[in-house]
Structure 1
C-alpha cells in the first residue's frame, strides 16, 4: 500500500513538473549580435542565426554580387573544395582559403584585401592527413586587442594580430604552438597522422582544439595510429591548460 502511494505521489509530481515546463514561454534564438559573425556557428551555441531584417522575402530576388574574392592563388595549386565559413568583426571579413590554408582579411564593404598570412610547412604540410583550407578560423578580443587563431594543415596553432596579420610573438613560440607536442603521446613531428580541419573554439580566454585523422577510411591493421585528444590553451600565452583523453589511458 505504501509503495502504491509513493508511486502515485511520484507520478503526480512528474505530471506537475511537465505542466510547468510546457507552459514556460518559448525563448527566441539569440544568435550573432550586431550583425557580426565572430565564431564558426554564429555563437557558442552554434545557432547559425542572425537577427537581421534588411534581407527579406520581398527583396531577396534583387540581391546582386557586390564583390568577389578568388582564393586560387593562395597556394601552389587551385583548391577544389573550399569549405570555409568566413567571420566578420568590426567591418572586416576573415577567412581561410587555398591549398596552403592561408588567412585573409578583407574589407567587408568593398572586398579589398587588407592582409594575407600563410605558413610554408614543407614536408610536414604535404604529409598532413587534413589538407586544403579547412572549415574556418577563430576570432578573439578582450575589447582592446584582437586576435585571429587557426590550425594549419601540419597541425600547428597560429595566433595572428587581427589588424596586421602578423604572428603574436608572445604566444607559444613566436606565435606558434606545435600541436604535435604536449599531447601526452609520442609522434613524429613530420609524418605523425593527426591534424584538424575544423575551426578552434574559443570560450572566454580558452582555445579548445580537437584532432582528426585521414577522412573516409580506417587505418590499416598494425599501423600506429595517433590518438585524437582534446586540449585547452590560454588564448594570450598559448600555454596548455588541460587535456581530455578520448581514449582512456
Structure 2
C-alpha cells in the first residue's frame, strides 16, 4: 500500500469578473495500481451517486416491476437519531451499495455510515473531529453522499467534509486509510487517511499573499475575511482519479 502515499492535488481555477476565481474542482491524482472502474451497477450494485460512472441512474435488476410493486413491504428502517442533530430542511443523501454494504452520510455532522443491507444494522461509523471551519461551514446540512473505489483490491470510501477535508476510509472497517494523505496538525486528527484541501487553493492567491494576520491555521482554513470554501457533493472517482467538487457561499463581500 506504500504506493498510495503519492497524492497530487491539482486545483482547477476559473476566471470570474477579471479576477482569479476559486477552484471549481480539485483533482486528487493517486499513483496506484487501482483496478479499472466497473460500470457501477453490476450484480445489483450502485457504486456511484448516479449508479454508474456515467450517472445513468439505471439498473439491470428486474425483480421489482409494475406487477409486484404494490406488494412490497418495509423490511427495516435505519434512523440517524443517535448520530447528531437533524434539521427539517436537511437534504437527504443518496446511499451507494458496494461489496455487500450500504454507505451513506448522516445528520449535519456528515458522519459516514456503513449499513448491513440484510438487517439494517450499523456496521461502522466515522466522524471527523470538530474544527472551527466545520462549525462555520454553510454546507453542513447538505451532504449528498460518499464515493467508492477499489484500490489494490481493497474497497475505499472517499468523503469530502463540510470543513473541506478529503478522507479515505477502509470500506470494511471505517478506519482512515494507512499510508495515504498527509498529517494534519490538529488534535484528534488521524495522521493518515486525510488531505487538507485548502492550502493548495491559497497558493499564488494575491489576497492570501497580502494577508498579514498570521500563518495558515488548519483549524480555521480560509480566513473569514477572505471568504470560504466547502463542499456538499461527494467526490467522483474515475480511472484512478478522485475529483473533489467545491461549493461556495454567495456573497458580495467575499474575494474568492
- Structure-1-length-normalised TM-score: 0.72
Specify the alignment match of 1:126 in structure 2. Answer: 135
Note the C-alpha offset of 1:143.
6.0
Find the counterpart in structure 2 of residue 78 from structure 1.
86
Q: Which runs of 5+ in 2 are unaligned?
A: 1-38, 183-191, 209-215
Structure 2 partner of 1:87? 96
Query: Contact 1:74/1:99 (CA < 8 Å) preserved in 2?
Result: no
CA RMSD of aligned residues (A): 1.8
Question: Paired residue for 2:231?
Answer: 196
Structure 1 unmatched ranges of 5 or more: 1-29, 227-249
Q: Is the contact made by 2:234 and 2:245 (CA closer than 8 Å) also made in structure 1?
A: no
1:180 to 183, 198, 207: 198
Q: Which of structures 1 and 2 has the bigger CA Rg?
A: 1
CA displacement at 1:58 relative to structure 2: 0.9
Asked whether 1:111 is paired with 2:143, we answer no
User: 2:60: which partner in 1?
Assistant: 51
**Off by >4 Å, runs of 4+ in structure 1:** none
Measure, in 1, the Cα distance between the counterparts of 2:199 and 2:51. 31
- Which structure has more strand as a fraction of its residues? 2
Name the CA shift for 1:70/1:158 in 2 (closer, same or farther; >3 Å). Answer: same
TM-score by structure 2 length?
0.70
